[in-house]
Amino acid sequence: MCFLRLAAALRRGAMITTAGRLVETRPCRRPRAWTRWVDPVQSPERPAAGSIPKEVWSMLVVENVPRGIRLVSGLLLLQAILVGSARADEPAGVAARAKAVRQVIAHRGSSADRPECTLSSLRRAIEVGATASEVDVRLSRDRQLVILHDSTLDRTTNGTGKIGDVTLAAIRKLDAGSWFDARYKNERVPTLREVLETSRGRIDVLLDLKEQGDAYDRQVAGEVTRHGDPRRIVVGVRSVAQAKRFRRLLPKARQLGLVPGPEAIDAFVKAGVETIRLWPAWVKKTPSLVARVHRLRVGLHLNGTTGVRSEVLGLLVHRPSSLSSDDPGRLVKTLKELSVGKKSAGTSSRSGRG
């Protein structure tokens, strides 16, 4: 459409979306009426992402506006379109949001290509460029701090029963790698001390605390103080009381609020937690939770991504400060590509197990 036709359309009351589409609106009936701007992005009735065309999201709906104002407003919007905007679905917006992800967290280490919660998966996370590695901290029967996700040994070792019923000496004899691949037959269940010593100065450690209680928290904090660097530790706290306790025990460590439900977000933030984790199911049910976290001026953590480009793009819409993945190498690569506006050559393959 030439400029003169565009100007004529704007004078009739047409509007332009930021996607460049011309949309006709009803003509002005009251020349001195107020302008009403409706921003669908902030509307509480906002539909689920993907349910309406992208251009409608960014539409500024104008009703009962004098023609002169419509024309000027339309031309200003047209100028913004021509020079480009930093929306999340345009290259500049995607790049900015990809760069804003400060932490790439390896979930149980690089568990897509190494046996989870082992030193091999931790070293692999360091190798592929993850900024942090998440580990699950449990107690053995003789109250030693060991790294295992499940409460039982059955799935990831050749042992059986609850880990809390087995001594550290017995746990250390178990094979924690063959279930994943025969090449990792000699992998052992590591202790928290081994994880801290291996990671020190190389990668942050996110501690997912699987036990509760003051004595347990003090034991974890003591181990971190003796063998790790508290400044490189992120404590995953599950209660306000635990958040306050670790603020005293490890004042230099950061905290990730593993909130039990959306209703607890404000209390965790008030306790000094720097980042809040939201489950995808919560966000799907109540999209306004994302805006709520951002209004509280704390970080937003989202987990569960495989690192696939389309999946990461969907998460970047929420402006997370940290993401976690079983395949941190692929996530790091995808974020780097998006941060420089690089086009995908197709879905990347999963990291090899070599």
Quick check: 250 pLDDT over 60? Answer: yes
pLDDT tens-digit map of 12-44? 555 544 444 554 444 444 433 333 333 333 333
Quick check: 199 pLDDT over 90? Answer: yes
Between CA 139 and CA 112 the distance in angstroms is 25
CA angle (69 as vertex; 63, 75 as ends), nearest 5: 105
Total count of residues recorded for the chain: 354
Between CA 125 and CA 105 the distance in angstroms is 9
Task: Give me the pLDDT at residue 304, please.
Answer: 78
User: What token pair was written down for 137?
Assistant: 């901290």
Using alpha carbons, select from 74, 60, 83 the residue that is nearest to residue 8.
74
How many separate helices (H) and strands (E) can be counted in the chain?
14, 13
Between CA 236 and CA 109 the distance in angstroms is 15
- The residue-averaged pLDDT of 312-334 equals 97
pLDDT tens-digit map of 119-176? 999 999 999 999 999 999 999 999 999 999 999 999 999 999 999 999 999 999 999 9
Q: Contact at 8 Å (CB) between 230 and 252?
A: yes
Assign 9 a pLDDT band (cuts: 50, 70, 90). Answer: low
Angstrom distances, CA of residue 346 to CA of 187, 309, 332, 334: 34, 9, 16, 11
Quick check: 55 pLDDT over 90? Answer: no
Angstrom distances, CA of residue 244 to CA of 124, 255, 270, 271: 33, 10, 10, 6
Q: Which of 56-60, 61-65, 283-287 has the highest mean pLDDT?
A: 283-287
**Amino acid in position 265:** I
- Paired with 234 in beta bridges are 206, 254
Which secondary structure element, helix H or strand E, spans residue 169, and what is its range?
helix 168-171
Task: Give me the pLDDT at residue 206, please.
Answer: 99
pLDDT tens-digit map of 64-80? 445 555 555 555 554 54
User: What token pair was written down for 81?
Assistant: 């379109």
DSSP state of 191: B
Distance linking the first and last C-alpha atoms of the chain: 56
User: What token pair was written down for 50?
Assistant: 């993907």
- The residue-averaged pLDDT of 48-72 equals 44
- The residue-averaged pLDDT of 292-309 equals 95
Spatial neighbors of 134 by CB under 8 A, at least 6 apart, are 105, 106, 107, 108, 109, 205, 206, 208, 236, 324
Assign 48 a pLDDT band (cuts: 50, 70, 90). Answer: very low
Which secondary structure element, helix H or strand E, spans residue 290, and what is its range?
helix 288-295
Which of 21-35, 198-212, 273-287, 323-337 shows the lowest mean pLDDT across its residues? 21-35
Between residues 74 and 309, the one the model is more confident about = 309
**DSSP code per residue over 204-231:** EEEEEE-S-SHHHHHHHHHHHHHHS-GG
Assign 345 a pLDDT band (cuts: 50, 70, 90). Answer: low
Quick check: 249 pLDDT over 80? Answer: yes
**DSSP code per residue over 4-45:** HHHHHHHHTT-EE-TTS-EE--PPPS-TTPPPEEE-TTT-TT
Quick check: 340 pLDDT over 50? Answer: yes
Residue 272 burial (C-beta neighbours within 10 Å; 0-12, 13-18, 19+) = middle
Query: How many Cβ atoms are within 10 Å of 30's Cβ, its own excluded?
Result: 9
**DSSP code per residue over 78-93:** HHHHHH----TTSHHH
Task: Give me the pLDDT at residue 341, please.
Answer: 84
The domains of the chain, with CATH numbers, are 3-80 (no CATH), 95-339 (3.20.20.190)
Q: Contact at 8 Å (CB) between 235 and 225?
A: no
- The residue-averaged pLDDT of 47-75 equals 45
User: What token pair was written down for 31?
Assistant: 């020349």
Between residues 304 and 252, the one the model is more confident about = 252
- The residue-averaged pLDDT of 313-327 equals 97
Which of 55-64, 159-168, 200-209, 226-235 shows the lowest mean pLDDT across its residues? 55-64
Between residues 75 and 262, the one the model is more confident about = 262
Considering the chain, what percentage of its residues have pLDDT values greater than 90? 69
Task: Give me the pLDDT at residue 322, please.
Answer: 98
User: What token pair was written down for 299?
Assistant: 């970080």
Angstrom distances, CA of residue 242 to CA of 255, 267, 274: 10, 12, 14
